[in-house]
Structure 1
Amino acid sequence: MTAAAREEGGPLVVVGAGVMGTGIATLALVHGVPVTLVDLDRAVLDRAEVAIARNLRTAALLGAAPPDTAPGALTTSTSLPDALTGSTAVAVVEAVTEDPATKAAVLARVSAAVPEGTPLISNTSSIPIDELAAAVARPADLLGTHFMNPAYLITTVEVVPGPRTAPDVVASATKLLGELRRTPIVVRDSPGFVTSRLLHPMINDAARLVEEGVASVEDVDALMQGCLGHPTGPLRTADLIGIDNLVDALDVLHLRTGDERSRPCGLLVAKVRDGHHGRKSGRGFYDYEEALP
């Protein structure tokens, strides 16, 4: 973040208004940071505004909002150039789909439009940051984060500098996370980093057990909760992550590590094919009354 941007109250620009983008936007807003949320689809932005309003209420009810801080102002835009023209952004968070080519294309456009030294943050669960750095004008400005869903409630964030990330950019990003009352844990760049490298193959294994008829969805989750202390169960966690995002991340891990445990099992692939993506679609391993945007 640039000192000038912070002094002038520059916004956090979030590109991508899906579940993660709305969660990250909520986190910033709840701590008084203005947000410009960008998505090419106006309908997606309209749903995101509704979700953010709901998230802000939830954060307040659960004590996740500082009681003495007024929420930041939210601006939305369907034009990335318009959102970045004359930018004084504190940082730009890319939160589009977990696809390397899509993320690289967005980051390339962002890096061409913002001043040198503005942190470019790719929120990714699996893609190596140095791989994405090949697409940007200034690899020193790029680093990764892995916010967990819901970002406005989970207080620990994985931070991933690439080999070419500048130390002052890491310092700026971790300072911003501190202002958002998040605990940043910095890890070395690699496919899946720490959390996805451990969690995603485990979820894949859990889905495979259901596919093989070893146990029901409910019983797999109950056993993991009751016997091993997993807070929600792996399959309910898959619904929260988004099964489509999970499969994309598993594909990245399998391709880059060769680990067969990361090859998405047939049940996960079938759910993606059928549009059963989890909470955001209203149906995944479980059914939900309301789909998330």
Structure 2
Amino acid sequence: MKNIAVIGAGTMGNGIAHVFAQNGFSVHLIDVSAPQLEKAVSTIAANMDRQIAKSQLTTEEKEAALARITTFTSIANGTAGIDLAVEAATELTSLKLDIFRELDQHAPENAILASNTSSISITKIASVTKRPEKVIGMHFMNPVPVMKLVEVINGYATSSDVTNSILALSEKLGKIPALANDYPGFVANRILMPMINEAIHTLHESVATVESIDTIMKLGMAHPMGPLQLADFIGLDVCLSILNVLHNGFGQPKYAPSPLLVNMVTAGKLGIKSGEGFYEYTKGSKELKVSKYFLR
């Protein structure tokens, strides 16, 4: 595989494009928004500058990698001649199904179609295509250029050849792939999201403050980031979406999202992306301040 399409130029999409381009692949970065594509390429360049500052990349390597990225505003134009498409759109089932219908229509017949979904059924995504054996989950972790894991998820019909190709490809990217089967939340989020949800319940029930909960988990469990800060980093809307997938998929009350999480998302308090969640975020500041809502 030499030619890769990445669909979605948000945080995950630009990170995935970054890693492929840095490792010598030709990348077609696709998004319906031209300004979003410009922003994504600027973000990739800025992140590569950080790598240069840490002696992880040379200026020449950065320029060569950026030259391998071509942007497109339509799947029809951006998928010609590709070997692999990696969808990295918003975590909405209807949106992903629409994208895969279009990918199936326009991508070459031999192309593998992968989704970066963190919770939505690969089997369901594959069902809207005429090539379910070539559909697979390729769940990168955020930030993609830094995190080593790729959670590889087999759908019901995914062929062993496709699985082996994606496992080998992940290693070529300098990642460590781990294989999972297609059940709600897979492995990473089936374990992570109930922990985050329980931390939110703990706050909602006034067992401890935002700072105490995160400090206890960081210092007591050796987590690099507390669960409430991590929820802000992921996006509270994304956390809610994944918990709903788990709750609907398993039908068990332990996966029901905390009412506090539901209220915060309804109020538009989504974490870093909105400037406020459990903490407040000011552009250019690294100070971590608890949201005023939780101080009153």
Structure 1 counterpart of 2:267: 274
CA contact (8 A) 1:64 1:152 kept: no
Structure 2 counterpart of 1:75: 70
Question: Is 1:22 aligned to 2:17, yes or no?
Answer: no
Give structure 1 stretches of 5+ with no counterpart: none
1:37 to 16, 29, 37: 29
- Aligned counterparts of 1:284 and 1:171: Cα–Cα separation in 2: 40
Structure 2 counterpart of 1:51: 43
Shift, 1:64, TM fit: 5.4
Shift, 1:289, TM fit: 2.5
Instruction: Give the stretch that moved more between structures: 179-188 or 42-51.
Output: 42-51
Cα deviation, 1:169-218, whole Å, max 9, x if unaligned, reads 11222222111101111111111111100000110111111122211212
Cα RMSD, aligned residues only: 1.9
Shift, 1:67, TM fit: 9.1
TM-score by length of 1: 0.89
Secondary structure (helix, strand or coil) at the match of 1:250 reads: helix
Shift, 1:66, TM fit: 8.3
Structure 2 counterpart of 1:264: 257
> How has the CA–CA distance of structure 1 residues 257 and 67 changed in structure 2, closer, same or farther, with 3 Å as cutoff?
farther
- Aligned counterparts of 1:127 and 1:109: Cα–Cα separation in 2: 18
Shift, 1:164, TM fit: 0.5
Shift, 1:95, TM fit: 0.8
- Report the AA paired with residue 172 of structure 1: S
- Aligned counterparts of 2:219 and 2:155: Cα–Cα separation in 1: 38
Structure 2 counterpart of 1:250: 243
- Aligned counterparts of 2:213 and 2:187: Cα–Cα separation in 1: 23
Cα deviation, 1:145-189, whole Å, max 9, x if unaligned, reads 221110110011110011201122112222221111011111111
CA contact (8 A) 1:30 1:66 kept: no
- Aligned counterparts of 2:225 and 2:152: Cα–Cα separation in 1: 24
- Aligned counterparts of 2:183 and 2:269: Cα–Cα separation in 1: 29
- Aligned counterparts of 2:69 and 2:212: Cα–Cα separation in 1: 42
Instruction: Give the stretch that moved more between structures: 199-208 or 165-174.
Output: 165-174
CA contact (8 A) 1:221 1:234 kept: yes
Work out the number of aligned pairs and report it.
281
Instruction: Give the stretch that moved more between structures: 56-65 or 239-248.
Output: 56-65
- Report the AA paired with residue 77 of structure 2: D
Q: Percent identity?
A: 38
Shift, 1:16, TM fit: 1.0
- Aligned counterparts of 2:203 and 2:118: Cα–Cα separation in 1: 24
Bigger relative contact order, structure 1 or 2, given CA contacts below 8 A and separation 6+? 1
* Structure label with greater radius of gyration: 2
- Aligned counterparts of 2:124 and 2:71: Cα–Cα separation in 1: 29
- Aligned counterparts of 1:279 and 1:29: Cα–Cα separation in 2: 27
- Aligned counterparts of 1:284 and 1:256: Cα–Cα separation in 2: 27
CA contact (8 A) 2:83 2:110 kept: no
- Aligned counterparts of 1:49 and 1:275: Cα–Cα separation in 2: 27
CA contact (8 A) 1:27 1:151 kept: yes
Secondary structure (helix, strand or coil) at the match of 1:71 reads: helix
- Aligned counterparts of 1:145 and 1:94: Cα–Cα separation in 2: 9
Structure 2 counterpart of 1:159: 152
- Aligned counterparts of 1:281 and 1:62: Cα–Cα separation in 2: 29
- Report the AA paired with residue 171 of structure 1: N
CA contact (8 A) 1:77 1:83 kept: yes
